[in-house]
A and B are shown apart, each in its own frame.
Chain A
């Protein structure tokens, strides 16, 4: 039971079972990174962990310090060669992954093990940089539980594994209320605290600042969610669901780019149907906020640009919710900006001669811009260009080749060609990128817009009327508007799985999952300083500043700790050990169907129990006799009495019923 001079706790060698637990926790947090890491790093880390596990069997396998240093050097060199950096976000995480394997390998005593536990937690949190989905959360929870069990194992190396696991579970269970209080009340600040590495948000997907043939069709292969919409009231008609994003002005023959719009006041749209909704946008690391045409409200911390974009002041790097009001099918604003109109006529010289010729023929036969536009619309409608998600690759004169040779394309080809033709005919035009359509999730009734709904269209300026939207894709493939991408493209082979018609069951599964995910995003991931303020005012604290939050937090947490103390220590206060042991005995017999009646004295009760449970009659009588002696007998020597209570407890504990 005891040893004379134990080693200091952190020098004690690790038990094999704790090491296995640590290795399991580490493996869980590294696994998602393994898919992102270069293959050699994954292999190296796995080998290091495997090496340590093998050394459990054969201790001589543990490497020398020199060898460890050599592995560190090679690993760091490899990371540098791979990323040309050591301190960026991704290289940093990759190094951390490798250090996890190394620390595992060189772990011998409990201090190493504790360091390994902390490293596991760091690695767990680095996974959240990439995804904070429910499966990731569950995985990391499993890793944390494993590492906590390892910590308990380190603190009590001689205790049974099952008991240690129970303790770990109890600890985590008791941690939940405190964690909840901290999560809700810890004063949140809007990050970041300092400049982030350049590559911090490279993983986010969404529209980009430019459009070249193939860029949008690439994006539409992803069925990732772009944003979700909660309409207050009726869903507006599908033909009006144009979610306006960046406006592209400048064309170099291949790529369309942003112009240089300036901040402006939100124009007052006229007529149109008022639609109120809120948008929960996924982070896309750009500033655009999406809204239906025409926006009549600016979300907080955002600006309106004079070409109709709404931009947030900072890139959207966390899920963000904003309320919007739009007036759909409103009359366009009639403002006239000569500088902008000049820009909307500019074309790179020497590209697409056949398109130029076509446009000039329209110009020659028309007297007004409106007539030119009508000719162009007619052209797209009659020509029936093929709408496909996998168009042929185009060469230098992309517009010519699309219009006259391949005659097939995706929305970026249609919009690019249309705007080119309009400009060539002298009508100001620009490309607008955004999303078109979306679908209602039947499970939670929320409207979902995916990357697959990405779309590009044109806007044409008609004097006296302003900028009006023309969707050349719809002119050639009218079903795009009503049926969405899935039914309007020629071949389905390249469609995202979820959009294929035969996958109905998959879709229903997906709807349920996404409804759950939406709640998760809204309630857990979307909990930000804004939500916190709302919660506090709901709790009756209007405009709570961080000091009020902190004091509320400390008070609640303090109350929690006191309650926990009272609960855990209150269970310890026993009036009389003899009585407690007797009650335990009665409970044990009661579980066997021989409950003590209120009027029964110990002797009668034991006699009845002994008769009913013949296999244990002998110990039952002995226990009762000892109890009676202890409780009613003369006060014996104090220490003798103490010994007897322990004996009584042991007898009751060892009481079995055959």
Chain B
């Protein structure tokens, strides 16, 4: 994907931000700049031919403006500081939502900065105000499961005249977790496994009170711990302060999602995709589920952290 990184590293500050030193900012005339040069040449020849002193003056004023434009184009990138923010995990097939924070500590604004992801060509245009930061979204296509590094990003600008193109490469230390693509229309998860008898006590039901957990919008109002709501400051009562009573019961059994249960003929990726779909379905159904991946296993549980752990294990699975 990304081309090999240059040996010369970007200057990294203590904050993990990359500061574009002006020696790392490259600049060449754009196509418009070349036309500008040609136009200046015509103006110069006309001035010489007709001996127009003011023609010379005008031509040279424009040439000086070109020079000043070149310096300002460089300045638009120089000492811009680039940080990457955390990219949320995505499923393969979705874009990995990388996000760069461009931090401008200068007294002038830096408009029209184009951030282009080198490998995919995805780009985003941002204006960074004076003493401000701006975010550049880079929705990079993520096709393969596992950690996807951001790779090289080119920052480019043509401001203020469009006559020059200045650019610099950064390689922020940012990666995105890509879960396997969930198989759509997957088979329902296998029935709760009967052999896992010891785990019965943990199964969830609605018979015996077993503790409190954070309220979720789908919870029945009958299970909300209203007494604890009443105890908290009523003015700030919001749904995220509410708690839901949890009851242990054996109406729901735990289940094991096992790679080995799927026929090897499907191929590893298809099996991982199906397991991913099952994890999502199991989480939605509220069941306790565990994951077995050729030796490694995650004990049955439920909740966001568990789901993430399972999906991450599926994403990073290297094979038997």
Chain A residues at the B interface, C-beta cutoff of 8 Å: 1-6, 9-10, 110, 114, 118, 121-122, 124-125, 128-129, 132, 136-137, 140, 144, 148, 151-152, 154-156, 158-159, 163, 167-168, 170-172, 174-180, 182-183, 186, 188-194, 196, 200, 317-318, 524-528, 557, 560-561, 564-565, 568-569, 571-574, 577, 580-581, 584, 638-639, 641-642, 646, 649-650, 653
Contacts and interface: CB of A to CB of B under 8 A. Distances in A.
B50 A192 contact: yes
16 contacts: A118-B35, A125-B58, A155-B161, A156-B111, A159-B109, A159-B111, A171-B68, A175-B61, A179-B64, A183-B56, A191-B48, A191-B50, A192-B48, A192-B49, A193-B48, A557-B67
A128 B64 contact: no
A639 to B, nearest CB: 6
Contacts of A156: 111-112, 127, 159-160
B64 A572 contact: no
Interface stretch (B39-47, B269-277, B312-320): B39-47
B15 A639 contact: yes
B79 interface: yes
Contacts of A573: 79
B125 interface: yes
B105 A574 contact: yes
B35 A114 contact: yes
B112 A200 contact: no
Interface stretch (B129-137, B223-231, B258-266): B129-137
B149 interface: no
A510 B14 CA distance: 69
B124 interface: yes
A200 B53 contact: no
Contact of A653 (B52, B83, B131): B131
Nearest to A576: B105
Given A132-B54, A569-B74, A638-B14, A167 B160 contact: yes
Given A1-B127, A2-B135, A571 B160 contact: no
B16 interface: yes
B148 interface: no
A581 B103 CA distance: 14
Given A151-B161, A179-B61, A3 B124 contact: yes
B103 A642 contact: yes
A521 to B, nearest CB: 9
Nearest to B25: A569
A159 B113 CA distance: 12
In the A-B complex, list the 3 residue pairs whose CB atoms are closest, starting with the nearest.
A178-B64, A175-B64, A174-B68
A177 B65 CA distance: 10
Interface of B: 14-17, 22, 31-32, 35-36, 39, 42-43, 45-65, 67-72, 74-75, 78-79, 83, 85, 101, 103, 105-107, 109, 111-112, 114, 122-127, 131-137, 139, 158-162
A3 B137 CA distance: 8
A200 B126 CA distance: 51
Contacts of A148: 65, 161
Nearest to A573: B79
A512 to B, nearest CB: 22
Given A2-B136, A121-B43, A569-B22, A152 B161 contact: yes
Contacts of B126: 1-2
B68 A121 contact: no
Contacts of B78: 569, 572
B32 A193 contact: no
Contacts of B35: 114, 118
Contact of A650 (B46, B109, B114, B132): B132
Contact of A186 (B32, B56, B75, B109): B56
A200 B60 CA distance: 24
A475 B101 CA distance: 92
B270 to A, nearest CB: 31
A642 B63 contact: no
B108 to A, nearest CB: 9
Describe A's contact surface by its main secondary structure.
helix
A249 B223 CA distance: 125
Which of B31, B74, B112, B162 is the most central at the interface, judged by chain A CB atoms within 10 Å of its CB?
B162
Contacts of A639: 15-16, 83, 85
Contacts of A528: 51, 53
A194 B46 CA distance: 10
Contact of A171 (B15, B49, B69, B106): B69
A122 B57 contact: no
Contact of B61 (A168, A172, A564): A172
Given A125-B55, A175-B64, A561 B50 contact: no
Given A125-B59, A148-B65, A560-B67, 12 more contacts: A4-B124, A10-B31, A122-B39, A128-B58, A137-B57, A140-B54, A171-B161, A179-B61, A179-B63, A318-B53, A561-B71, A638-B15
Nearest to A652: B131
Contacts of A646: 103, 132-133
Contacts of A5: 122-123
A317 B67 CA distance: 32
Contacts of A9: 158, 162
A572 B75 contact: yes
A190 B51 CA distance: 7
A199 to B, nearest CB: 13
A638 B133 CA distance: 16
Which of B55, B64, B107 is the most central at the interface, judged by chain A CB atoms within 10 Å of its CB?
B64
B39 A118 contact: yes
A124 B64 contact: no
A151 B162 contact: yes
Contacts of A581: 131
A356 B35 CA distance: 71
Contacts of B52: 125, 128-129, 132
Given A154-B162, A569-B79, A118 B36 contact: yes
Contacts of A524: 53-54, 57
A318 to B, nearest CB: 4
A162 to B, nearest CB: 12
Contacts of B124: 2-4
Contacts of B55: 125, 128
A561 B64 CA distance: 10
A348 B55 CA distance: 49
A196 B48 CA distance: 12
A196 B50 contact: yes
Given A177-B64, A564-B71, A128 B103 contact: no
Contacts of A179: 57, 60-61, 63-64
B170 to A, nearest CB: 15
B56 A144 contact: no
Contacts of B51: 190-192, 317-318, 528
Nearest to A642: B15
Given A140-B58, A569-B75, A163 B63 contact: no
Contacts of B60: 178-180, 182-183, 186
Contact of B111 (A158, A171, A318, A571): A158
A584 B130 CA distance: 13
A180 B61 CA distance: 8
A464 B104 CA distance: 92
Contacts of B123: 5-6
A572 B76 CA distance: 11
A155 B162 contact: yes
B67 A114 contact: no
Which of A168, A192, A194, A649 is the most central at the interface, judged by chain B CB atoms within 10 Å of its CB?
A649
A201 to B, nearest CB: 9
Contacts of A114: 32, 35, 162
Contacts of B75: 568-569, 572
